[in-house]
Amino acid sequence: MQHHSACAPPACGRAMIRLRNLCLTVGGAANGGRGRIVLDQANCDIPQGGFRWLLGPSGAGKSTLLRALQLAHPPERGTLEVLGADPAHAGRRATARLRRRIGAVHQDYRLLPELSVFDNVALPLRLDGMAERSIREEVDAILSWLRISPLRDRSPRYLSGGEQQRTAIARALVKRPGLLLADEPTNALDETESLRLVRLFEELSGLGTTVVIATHNPALPRLVPARALVLDGRGQMVESAP
Ligand SMILES: Nc1ncnc2c1ncn2[C@@H]1O[C@H](COP(=O)(O)OP(=O)(O)OP(=O)(O)O)[C@@H](O)[C@H]1O
């Protein structure tokens, strides 16, 4: 991989993610400490349909940056635009609408154990007010694609790690998000499933979804060569060519 000192401008089209002098800290005032700088004046543009790996050693801040992109971790300073909007200047309703256009796969899946696999995946569509009949079609299609249809009535509580991970992925994808953020989305999957999944993410980016996938598995970016955002753990982020 060839490294550049700064992130390249978007190849074409409008930036769906735009960072300008973005500073992110963790464990600050809320924890009574001084906080730790995860990103120090980072700049980056990702165009619509862009695909980026998010790389860096454990603890470098990949999950924190994904949380910020999901509008769940406010920046300390600088500008963060997501899906063409700046949440710092959007009202609560506009921010909630923006969040609904983001699909996120968390490292710990965050499935609701009291709901079935089907209902977990249906949740974002129900929150959007979609008709039940359309929900059934959409959910069944994505469960089938991820090969978890036989699990549709089970509680996530009794699923394997890989099955839970695929359920979380189905929930992130079912609403056809404009931005897909995934934190180690293949760490519980075997090689064949991992390859299918990253190919799906690649396909989605070809269809216009902006995709950011965090991983510390060096094998993964080799499956789909794409630009990478690399965090060094000391606040710096560089963008590397595929
Ligand atoms: N709420 C918090 N309070 C204090 N420190 C935190 C908090 N959340 C994260 N951190 C610290 O911030 C740093 C970045 O964590 P983060 O989870 O973003 O890293 P990561 O690159 O995703 O790591 P991994 O690859 O292990 O998942 C780590 O040093 C972590 O210990």
Residue 176, SS3 per DSSP:
coil
- Complex ipTM more than 0.90, yes or no: yes
Lookup result for tokens 């991992």: 194
Average pLDDT of the residues in 216-235: 90
36 C-alpha to center of ligand 1: Å? 9
For the record, the structure tokens of 40 come out as 């120090």
pLDDT at 29: 57
Q: Do residues 28 and 35 make contact, with C-beta atoms less than 8 angstroms apart?
A: yes
Report the nearest-CA residue for atom 14 of ligand 1: 61
Q: Is 31 in the pocket of ligand 1 (CB under 6 A)?
A: yes
What is the number of the ligand 1 atom nearest to the C-alpha of 107? 27
For the record, the structure tokens of 89 come out as 């200047």
**What is the band of 5 on the pLDDT scale with cuts at 50, 70, 90?**
very low
180-205 pLDDT tens trace: 999 999 988 888 889 988 999 999 99
Report the nearest-CA residue for atom 25 of ligand 1: 58
Per-residue DSSP letter, 151: G
